[in-house]
């Protein structure tokens, strides 16, 4: 039985009030007077910085405590909010977990699901239980990403592919992830939890759908390669295995290495 959190102690709607000023929340306009931006490539240094963020971004589970400066957090959230989204529906919502008991309860949900996932893995149960799959208690900030109810009204791009709302939210999370690397912070995307239980814990309305618990904060260093690769759980497949010409070519797709599986 999960511990009951005294919700009356949790202040609602703290975000806006906690930010330095409401003006700081407004979006920076890139080019208000022009309808296009010149298609000039970035300078070599700028391109290098973009690719560096992509290649050095890691899913982090080890954090160094500390805090995330509010101005930096705002920059990261702006980066997330500038993600592409299907029909421009912007389905992402961010809940900043400030209450320690709530954070502990989220950690508990992840731990419960970690055990269930391990059991479902059968032969790899033991190996899985050795992996660190979250840093909820250690990260400076915990943000829950969820999608609001009413998404069925957004038909543009979702009539045949309703999961495009999830894809859009994934884009927002990736923006935040890359920006965090650029800011020298680490982020871990935790998805090992029962979404219904998390929705109930955070009093989400019916139809809302949590997608991730983001652990964010200072780190001592980034894993030089995916931690799951360092731990020999999985390895990056060759790019060549992912590419096909014209038609699906099953013969080109190599099976995962023996005893390993791609992804987590």
Ligand X SMILES: Cc1cc2nc3c(=O)[nH]c(=O)nc-3n(C[C@H](O)[C@H](O)[C@H](O)COP(=O)(O)O)c2cc1C
Binding interface with ligand X (CB under 6 A): 58-59, 61, 133-134, 189-192, 226, 228, 264
Q: How far is the CB of 74 from ligand X (least distance, A)?
A: 24
What's the number of CA atoms in the CB half-sphere (13 Å) around residue 225? 9
Which of residues 90 and 134 has its CB atom nearest to ligand X in the complex?
134
| Dihedral, CA of residue 13, residue 15, residue 17 and residue 18, to nearest 10 | 140
Q: Which residues contact 121 (CB under 8 A, 6 or more apart)?
A: 128
Which of residues 16 and 194 has its CB atom nearest to ligand X in the complex?
194
**CA distance linking residue 113 with residue 131, whole number of Å:** 14
Q: How far is the CB of 19 from ligand X (least distance, A)?
A: 28
Which of residues 61 and 158 has its CB atom nearest to ligand X in the complex?
61
Residue 55: is it exposed, middle or buried by C-beta count within 10 angstroms (0-12/13-18/19+)? exposed
- Structure token digits, residue 112: 């419960």
**CA distance linking residue 211 with residue 263, whole number of Å:** 17
Q: How far is the CB of 61 from ligand X (least distance, A)?
A: 6
Residue nearest to ligand X (CB): 226
Q: How far is the CB of 133 from ligand X (least distance, A)?
A: 4
E strands in the chain:
93-97, 141-147, 185-190, 209-218
Which of residues 179 and 190 has its CB atom nearest to ligand X in the complex?
190
Q: How far is the CB of 218 from ligand X (least distance, A)?
A: 17
- Structure token digits, residue 39: 């298609």
Which of residues 89 and 187 has its CB atom nearest to ligand X in the complex?
187
Which of residues 126 and 245 has its CB atom nearest to ligand X in the complex?
126
**CA distance linking residue 79 with residue 179, whole number of Å:** 7
Q: Which residues contact 191 (CB under 8 A, 6 or more apart)?
A: 211, 212, 213
Which of residues 72 and 264 has its CB atom nearest to ligand X in the complex?
264
Q: How far is the CB of 207 from ligand X (least distance, A)?
A: 21
**CA distance linking residue 190 with residue 174, whole number of Å:** 13
Q: How far is the CB of 192 from ligand X (least distance, A)?
A: 4
Of 159, 142, 134, which is closest to residue 227 (Cα–Cα)?
134
């Amino acid at each position: 039985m999960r511990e009951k959190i005294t919700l009356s102690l949790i202040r609602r709607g703290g975000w806006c009030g906690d930010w330095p000023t409401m003006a700081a929340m407004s979006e920076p306009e890139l080019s208000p007077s022009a309808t296009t931006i010149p298609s000039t490539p970035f300078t070599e240094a700028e391109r290098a910085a973009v690719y560096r963020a992509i290649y050095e971004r890691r899913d982090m589970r080890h954090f160094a405590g500390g805090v995330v400066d509010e101005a930096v957090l705002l920059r990261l959230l702006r980066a997330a909010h500038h993600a592409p989204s299907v029909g421009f529906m912007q389905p992402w919502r961010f809940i900043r977990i400030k209450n320690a008991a709530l954070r502990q309860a989220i950690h508990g949900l992840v731990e419960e699901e970690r055990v269930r996932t391990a059991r479902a893995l059968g032969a790899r149960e033991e190996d899985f239980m050795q992996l660190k799959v979250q840093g909820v208690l250690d990260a400076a900030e915990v943000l829950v990403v969820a999608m609001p109810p009413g998404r069925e009204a957004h038909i543009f791009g979702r009539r045949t592919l309703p999961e495009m709302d999830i894809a859009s939210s994934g884009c927002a999370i990736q923006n935040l992830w890359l920006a965090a690397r650029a800011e020298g912070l680490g982020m871990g995307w935790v998805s090992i939890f029962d979404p219904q239980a998390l929705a109930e814990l955070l009093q989400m309305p019916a139809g809302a759908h949590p997608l991730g618990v983001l652990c964010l904060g200072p780190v001592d260093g980034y894993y030089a390669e995916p931690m799951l690769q360092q731990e020999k759980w999985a390895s990056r497949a060759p790019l060549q295995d992912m590419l096909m010409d014209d038609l699906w070519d099953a013969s080109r797709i190599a099976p995962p290495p023996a005893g390993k599986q791609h992804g987590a």
